[in-house]
Amino acid sequence: MCNNIILIGFMGSGKTTIGRKLAQRLKQILIDTDSLIEVNYGMKISDFFKNFDEEKFREIERNLCIWCQKNLDNAIISTGGGMPTIYDMKNLGKVIFLDTPFNEIKNRILNDGVENRPLIKDIDSIQMLYDKRLQIYKNMADYSVNTLDSKENIVDKIYHYLKG
């Protein structure tokens, strides 16, 4: 069990987008953990944080990781940006870090809208959170891919790594 592919990275790194494309390429199912939480709780993640605290959210994520470890095999799992800080993703499968430079993250988050990112208050808080998590992602990764390339090239690189 646990022959899964785990996509980790900071918010805005493209985990969901790359996950969808990789799932199509490999003909595997995609489990997007944020989407699962939204469906189960009937609200967007940003609304969840308005009603509950981060501790409750991390508890739900931790339980979801345990469920994935026990029940999923040969799936692609797109994680929430904070999941690697609370659970060893290597227990779930092969870990791919979508490595995105901070300036690109900042641009993507600002284009997406800060209100959609519940842990972000301002640019300084984005930088602090990014700096806090970056080494965790790097240490946990079996493979890292820079996301400044085209989506197709990113998927190709991951595919060749997995098949190589």
pLDDT over 70 percentage in the chain: 93
The pLDDT value given to residue 90? 95
Mean pLDDT, residues 38-67 taken together: 92
The pLDDT value given to residue 121? 62
The pLDDT value given to residue 66? 95
The pLDDT value given to residue 2? 72
Buried b (16+ CB within 10 A) or exposed e, 21-31: bbbeebebebb
pLDDT of 152 over the 80 cut:
yes
User: Residue 11 to residues 1, 72, 107, 157, 163: CA-CA distances in angstroms?
Assistant: 28, 24, 12, 21, 27
pLDDT of 120 over the 90 cut:
no
Domain that residue 155 falls in: 4-163
Q: What is the mean pLDDT of the chain?
A: 91
Distance CA 31, CA 17 (A): 12
Confidence of residue 115 (pLDDT cuts 50, 70, 90): low
pLDDT of 57 over the 90 cut:
yes
Q: What is the CATH number of the domain that holds 11?
A: 3.40.50.300
Distance CA 51, CA 30 (A): 28
Say if CB 53 and CB 59 are below 8 A apart: no
The pLDDT value given to residue 36? 95
State the total domains in the chain: 1
Biggest CA-to-CA distance, the chain? 45
Mean pLDDT, residues 88-101 taken together: 97
The pLDDT value given to residue 111? 76
pLDDT of 17 over the 80 cut:
yes
DSSP one-letter string for 84-105 = GGTS-GGGTEEEEEEE--HHHH
